[in-house]
Amino acid sequence: MTRADQNSSSSLSFEQSLRLSWRWFLRDFRSGGVRVLFAAIALAVCAVSAVSFLSDRAQRAMALQANQLLGGDALVKADAPIGPAQRALAGQLQQAEVLSFNSMLRAGSTLKLADIKAISQGFPLRGAYQLVDANGKISMQAGAWPKPGQLWLSGAGAQALSVKIGDKIALGALEFEIGALIVQEPDAALSYFNVAPRAIIRLDDLAKTQLIQEGSRVVYRLVVAGAANQVAAFSAQVQPTLKRGQQLETVQDARPELRQALARANQFLGLSALVAVVLAAVAAAMAARRHTARHIDGCAVMRAIGASSQNILQIYLGQLFWVGLFAAIVGVVSAFALQALAASLLAKALQLDIPAASALPALEGFAVGFVVLMSFAAPPVLALKNAAPLRVLRKDLPSPQISAWLALVLGLAGLAGLIVMKAGSVELGLTILAGLAATLFALALLAFALIAGVHALRGRLRGRLRGPLRYGLANISRRASASAVQTTALGLGLMVIMLLTLVRSDLLYRWQAELPDNAPNRFVIGLQAEQTEPFSAAFQTAGLAKPTLFPMIQARFVQQNDQAITQTSFAEQSERAQRLAERNFNVSYMAELPADNEIVAGKFWANNTQSAEFSVEVELAKSLGWNLGDTLAFDVAGQRLEAKITSLREVDWGNFQPNFFVIASPSAARELPQSFMTSLHLPSEKFALTNELVQQMPNISVIDVDAILAQVRRTSAQAAAAISWVFYFTLAAGVLVLIGAMRATQDERLREAAIMRVLGASTTQLRLAQLSEFTAQGVIAGGTAAIAANVLSGVIAEQILGISWRVDPMLMLVGTRAGVLAVVATGLITLRSAVTLAPAQSLRALEG
Amino acid sequence: MLQTPSANNPQIMLHVQALSKQVSLPEHTLTLLDQVSFTLVAGETLAITGASGSGKSTLLGLLAGLDSPSSGSVQLAGTDLNLLNEDGRAKLRRQQVGFVFQSFQLLPALSALENVMLPLELMGAPNAKAKAEEILAQVGLRERLTHYPRQLSGGEQQRVAIARAFVSTPKVLFADEPTGNLDTKTGQQIADLLFALNETAGTTLVLVTHEQKLASRCQRILNLDAGRVVNS
**Cross-strand pairs, A180:** A152
Higher pLDDT, B5 or A176: A176
Higher pLDDT, A414 or A587: A587
Confidence at A8, pLDDT banded by 50, 70, 90: very low
Return the residue of B nearest to A19 by Cα: B121
Confidence at A709, pLDDT banded by 50, 70, 90: low
Q: How far apart are CA A534 and CA A520, in angstroms?
A: 21
Res B6 pLDDT > 60: no
Taking CB atoms and an 8 Å limit, are A305 and B57 in contact across chains?
no
Q: Among A33, A303, A844, whose Cβ lies nearest the Cβ of B90?
A: A303
Sorted by sequence, the CB contacts under 8 Å of residue A360 that are 6+ apart come out as A52, A56
- At residue A542, the 3 state secondary structure works out as coil
| Residue A644 buriedness (CB in 10 A; 0-12 / 13-18 / 19+) | middle
Asked if A844 reaches chain B (Cβ–Cβ under 8 Å), the answer is yes
- Calculate mean pLDDT across residues A732-748: 74
Q: How far apart are CA A773 and CA A287, in angstroms?
A: 22
- Calculate mean pLDDT across residues B195-205: 89
What does the pLDDT look like over A370-383, one tens digit per residue? 888 888 888 888 88
Q: How far apart are CA A482 and CA A447, in angstroms?
A: 11
Chain A CB contacts of B132 below 8 Å: none
Asked if B26 reaches chain A (Cβ–Cβ under 8 Å), the answer is no
Res A321 pLDDT > 50: yes
Whole-prediction pTM: 0.62
pLDDT of residue A652: 76
Return the residue of B nearest to A15 by Cα: B124
Res A769 pLDDT > 60: yes
Higher pLDDT, A766 or A95: A95
Res A252 pLDDT > 70: no
Q: Which string of DSSP letters, residue by residue, matches B17-70?
A: EEEEEEEE-SSSEEEEEEEEEEEEETT-EEEEEESTTSSHHHHHHHHTTSS--S
Chain A neighbours among B 47-66 (CB < 8 Å)? 57, 60-61, 64-66
Taking Cα atoms as reference points, which of B160, B194, B163 lies closest to residue B177? B194
Confidence at A842, pLDDT banded by 50, 70, 90: low
> Around Cβ A777, how many Cβ atoms within 10 Å?
30
Give the best residue of B1, B121, B166, B177 to mutate against chain A (max A CB count within 10 A): B121
Higher pLDDT, A384 or A435: A384
How far is the alpha carbon of A754 from chain B, nearest alpha carbon, in Å?
17
How far is the alpha carbon of A397 from chain B, nearest alpha carbon, in Å?
12
Write down the mean pLDDT value for chain A.
Answer: 77
Taking Cα atoms as reference points, which of A30, A44, A19, A32 lies closest to residue A318? A19
Taking CB atoms and an 8 Å limit, are A2 and B123 in contact across chains?
no
Chain B CB contacts of A3 below 8 Å: 2, 83-84
Higher pLDDT, A260 or A192: A260
Asked if B164 reaches chain A (Cβ–Cβ under 8 Å), the answer is yes
Distances from the Cα of A191 to the Cα of A104, A210, A830, B95, angstroms = 20, 27, 58, 85
Return the residue of A nearest to B167 by Cα: A305
Sorted by sequence, the CB contacts under 8 Å of residue B10 that are 6+ apart come out as B42, B78
Return the residue of B nearest to A306 by Cα: B94
Q: What is the CA radius of gyration of chain B?
A: 18
pLDDT of residue B2: 40
**A154 and A199 Cβ atoms separated by less than 8 Å:** yes
pLDDT of residue A348: 62
Taking CB atoms and an 8 Å limit, are A9 and B83 in contact across chains?
no
pLDDT of residue A612: 92
CA A561 to chain centre: 42
Most confident of A657-661, A840-844, B146-150: B146-150
Chain A CB contacts of B103 below 8 Å: 847
Res B205 pLDDT > 90: yes
Interface predicted TM-score (ipTM) of this complex, two decimals: 0.84
Chain B neighbours among A 338-397 (CB < 8 Å)? 388-390, 392-394
- β pairing state of A110-119 and A198-202: parallel
Q: How far apart are CA B33 and CA B52, in angstroms?
A: 13
Chain A CB contacts of B148 below 8 Å: 31
- Calculate mean pLDDT across residues A404-414: 76
Res A344 pLDDT > 90: no
- At residue A473, the 3 state secondary structure works out as helix
CA dihedral A117, A119, A122, A125 (to 10 degrees): -40
pLDDT of residue A9: 47
**A613 and A628 Cβ atoms separated by less than 8 Å:** no
Q: How far apart are CA A303 and CA A387, in angstroms?
A: 8
Total residues belonging to chain A: 848
| Residue B185 buriedness (CB in 10 A; 0-12 / 13-18 / 19+) | exposed
- Calculate mean pLDDT across residues B89-115: 86
Sorted by sequence, the CB contacts under 8 Å of residue A529 that are 6+ apart come out as A674, A675, A676
- Calculate mean pLDDT across residues A458-482: 68
**B68 and B32 Cβ atoms separated by less than 8 Å:** no
Res B95 pLDDT > 70: yes
Strand order in the sheet with B12-24: B29-41, B12-24, B71-76, B79-80
pLDDT of residue A261: 56
Asked if A4 reaches chain B (Cβ–Cβ under 8 Å), the answer is no
Taking Cα atoms as reference points, which of A388, A401, A303 lies closest to residue A9? A303
Taking CB atoms and an 8 Å limit, are A392 and B99 in contact across chains?
yes
Q: Among A2, A307, A847, whose Cβ lies nearest the Cβ of B122?
A: A307
Q: How far apart are CA A405 and CA A412, in angstroms?
A: 10
pLDDT of residue A195: 40
Distances from the Cα of A310 to the Cα of A313, A375, A384, A799, angstroms = 5, 20, 10, 49
pLDDT of residue B173: 92
Taking CB atoms and an 8 Å limit, are A9 and B87 in contact across chains?
yes
Q: What is the CA radius of gyration of chain A?
A: 34
- Calculate mean pLDDT across residues A767-790: 81
Res A619 pLDDT > 60: yes
**A626 and A632 Cβ atoms separated by less than 8 Å:** yes
Chain A neighbours among B 171-210 (CB < 8 Å)? 176
pLDDT of residue A798: 67
- Calculate mean pLDDT across residues A213-225: 79
A33-38, long-range: CB < 8 A, 24+ apart:
A33/A291, A33/A294, A33/A295, A33/B109, A34/A291, A34/A319, A34/A323, A36/A287, A36/A290, A36/A291, A36/A739, A36/A740, A36/A743, A37/A284, A37/A287, A37/A288, A37/A291, A37/A323, A37/A327, A37/A377, A38/A323, A38/A326, A38/A327, A38/A330
Q: How far apart are CA B10 and CA B5, in angstroms?
A: 10
pLDDT of residue A500: 67
CA-based torsion, A466, A472, A478, A480: positive or negative: negative
Res A707 pLDDT > 80: no
Taking CB atoms and an 8 Å limit, are A309 and B90 in contact across chains?
yes
Taking CB atoms and an 8 Å limit, are A308 and B91 in contact across chains?
yes
Asked if B118 reaches chain A (Cβ–Cβ under 8 Å), the answer is yes
What does the pLDDT look like over A795-835, one tens digit per residue? 766 665 566 666 677 777 877 887 788 888 888 887 777 77
Q: How far apart are CA A681 and CA A540, in angstroms?
A: 14
- At residue B168, the 3 state secondary structure works out as coil
- Calculate mean pLDDT across residues A76-104: 86
Asked if B125 reaches chain A (Cβ–Cβ under 8 Å), the answer is no
Q: How far apart are CA A433 and CA A98, in angstroms?
A: 50
Chain B CB contacts of A392 below 8 Å: 66, 99, 101, 105
At what angle are helices A256-304 and A404-423 packed, to 10 degrees?
150
End-to-end CA distance of chain B: 33
Q: How far apart are CA A8 and CA B92, in angstroms?
A: 10
Asked if B114 reaches chain A (Cβ–Cβ under 8 Å), the answer is yes
Amino acid at A169: I
Confidence at B17, pLDDT banded by 50, 70, 90: very high
How far is the alpha carbon of B213 from chain A, nearest alpha carbon, in Å?
22
Return the residue of B nearest to A390 by Cα: B66
**A385 and A309 Cβ atoms separated by less than 8 Å:** yes
Give the best residue of A18, A30, A393 to mutate against chain B (max B CB count within 10 A): A393
Alpha helices in A305-403 (DSSP H): 309-350, 360-372, 378-382
Res A509 pLDDT > 70: no
Percent of chain A with pLDDT over 90: 10
Confidence at A191, pLDDT banded by 50, 70, 90: very low
pLDDT of residue A47: 75
| Residue A221 buriedness (CB in 10 A; 0-12 / 13-18 / 19+) | buried
Confidence at A64, pLDDT banded by 50, 70, 90: low
CA-based torsion, A373, A379, A380, A385: positive or negative: positive
Res A761 pLDDT > 80: no
How far is the alpha carbon of B10 from chain A, nearest alpha carbon, in Å?
14
Q: How far apart are CA A691 and CA A197, in angstroms?
A: 11
Res A6 pLDDT > 50: no
Most confident of A300-314, A449-463, B63-77: B63-77
Res A621 pLDDT > 50: yes
Taking CB atoms and an 8 Å limit, are A33 and B109 in contact across chains?
yes
As separate numbers, helices (DSSP H) first and strands (DSSP E) second, chain B gives 8, 10
Res A285 pLDDT > 50: yes
Q: How far apart are CA A238 and CA A359, in angstroms?
A: 30
Asked if B87 reaches chain A (Cβ–Cβ under 8 Å), the answer is yes
**A844 and B104 Cβ atoms separated by less than 8 Å:** no
Write down the mean pLDDT value for chain B.
Answer: 88
Asked if A754 reaches chain B (Cβ–Cβ under 8 Å), the answer is no
pLDDT of residue A512: 52
Confidence at A423, pLDDT banded by 50, 70, 90: low
Confidence at A725, pLDDT banded by 50, 70, 90: low
Q: How far apart are CA B223 and CA B232, in angstroms?
A: 6
Chain B CB contacts of A2 below 8 Å: 1-2
Higher pLDDT, A644 or A410: A644
Taking CB atoms and an 8 Å limit, are A297 and B67 in contact across chains?
no
Asked if A16 reaches chain B (Cβ–Cβ under 8 Å), the answer is yes
Asked if B147 reaches chain A (Cβ–Cβ under 8 Å), the answer is no
Asked if B23 reaches chain A (Cβ–Cβ under 8 Å), the answer is no
> Around Cβ B94, how many Cβ atoms within 10 Å?
23
Return the residue of A nearest to B4 by Cα: A1
